[in-house]
Structure 1
């Protein structure tokens, strides 16, 4: 059984890790959330629900 030549597979492995570690993280971290969390200490008054059958 012939042995595989490691040269092209090693280059593919290195290129894949290069993509995963250098190219993808900035693209993922560039996304922004539509609603940024705000610090709101004001309490809102809650009303009980008006159930029609109760």
Structure 2
């Protein structure tokens, strides 16, 4: 039964994983988010009251 012979299938599996782990992670890590977060200044003054013109 040729399907039980692991020699060709094992090499195909190992080669496909080698290709996958070589080319795919750099392509995924190269993507950037369109709206990258910008760290806000931690010294912002929060003591100001809001100006509510309708109150």
- What TM-score, normalized to structure 1? 0.61
Name 2:34's counterpart in structure 1. 34
Runs of 5+ consecutive residues of structure 1 not aligned to the other structure: 47-54
Runs of 5+ consecutive residues of structure 2 not aligned to the other structure: 51-55
Q: What is the alpha-carbon root mean square deviation over aligned residues?
A: 2.9
Number of equivalent positions: 47
Find runs of 4+ consecutive structure 1 residues off by over 2 angstroms. Answer: none
Q: How does 1:43-54 map to 2 (within 5 A)?
A: none
